[in-house]
Amino acid sequence: MPVGDRTEPPDVDAAVDVSRETGSSDPQWSRGGGSSSDPSTDRSRSETPASAGVTPHAAQSVAPVSRETTTSAAARAATLGSEFATAAVETMQDADTPIARELEDQVRRRTRIAQTKVPKPERTRVMTVANQKGGVGKTTTTVNVAAALAQAGLRVLVIDIDPQGNASTALGIEHHAEVPSVYDVVVEGKPMHDIVQECPDIKGLWCAPATIDLAGAEIELVSLVAREQRLNRALTAHLDELGEEAYDYVLIDCPPSLGLLTVNAFVAAREVFIPIQCEYYALEGLSQLLNNIELIRKHLNPALAISTILLTMYDARTRLSAQVAEEVRTHFPDTVLRSSVPRSVRISEAPSHGLTVMTYDPASSGALSYAEAATELALRGEPSGQ
């Protein structure tokens, strides 16, 4: 029967006639089943490729693929769980496809992390995570590296000195105006142990939260004595108070500026951890940050050193990311981590649930990258001369 410029195959018209005669609104045999009561007719229809508009040669080539697909699906369903990625790689290891190579690479990386023992530092490593450019992943890096270190069995404290309080949010810590915060420590002189809260989702991880009160701390600190040393003195007293139970790592999340709060963070730390977004503006901001760190080292904290640089938001599809990564690695060959963090939707989604990506989606590429970065950071140890 002509339909527009095309002519429907006769068997399609027959399918409609059969469905009308039998009262069925779903002619199953047109999908490979059978609505006729004659078994021989059903067999002939399902076994005759011409009835579906497929040549005998094509039918022979399609049939075994369907069986393999069914078998593969059953195998995948049977191996759901922690062994899924390994089974998938073993199933596809003979196929030279991008997915197979990606799965195999991820399994290899996860196995390496699982087999690596993260060493405990000889003394507490205090690191300021800083970059005066905003949006480069400072807070995201702080909370996820801290979570990865805590999951490896270490004791970690995150000090949120950014008035936005994003690190506190990501760790599931209350930080409304009535909550004791870093503001009370640096401005009011309250002991740090009065404000520290334990992360509800990760054992061994604590947080000193930030509240909106910190937004006015920059002005209030101007008139205080030893204004650059306020955080350093409070943190040193807190670590001495803990004694043998002191933290292995202290990560300080800074605001994207070089005000007195950031200066306090630089003075309190011995190491600077710099996340760099793989874009041109990040490179431009890095040179300015290095000049300011040199000023801090000269006048306030001679022990301060840049120990770690992490490339974030790396997009392997773009030439720009590769060029920025190469530029940074050329200028800082001993400082840049081999691990880099890709752009990941899971990383962006995690804070909206009050979680780090390490707990929100441990199987994601972002969680794997941060676990690798944390492991590498721990294995490197403190810079020589510290």
The CA-atom distances, in angstroms, between 349 and each of 171, 222, 342, 356 are 13, 38, 14, 9
| Block residue for tokens 């990564």 | 325
Confidence check: pLDDT of 142 > 60: yes
CATH topology of domain 121-380: Rossmann fold (3.40.50)
pLDDT in tens, 275-314: 999 888 877 778 888 998 999 999 999 999 999 999 999 8
pLDDT in tens, 82-119: 444 555 545 445 557 877 777 887 788 888 888 888 99
The CA-atom distances, in angstroms, between 258 and each of 234, 237, 295 are 20, 25, 12
What is the reported pTM? 0.74
Q: Which tokens in the block code for residue 73?
A: 């699906």
**Distance (Å, rounded) from C-alpha 333 to C-alpha 343?**
23
Give 116's DSSP letter: P
| Block residue for tokens 């390994």 | 86
Q: Which tokens in the block code for residue 88?
A: 């998938």
Residues 6+ apart with CB under 8 A from 142: 129, 158, 167, 251, 252, 253
Is residue 295 a contact partner of residue 141, using CB atoms and an 8 Å limit?
A: no
Is residue 152 a contact partner of residue 378, using CB atoms and an 8 Å limit?
A: yes
Helix or strand or coil: residue 5? coil
Top-confidence residue, 25 or 302: 302
- What region, left, alpha or beta, does residue 313 occupy, with left being phi > 0 and alpha being psi -120 to 50 degrees? left
Domain boundaries, the chain: 2-91, 121-380
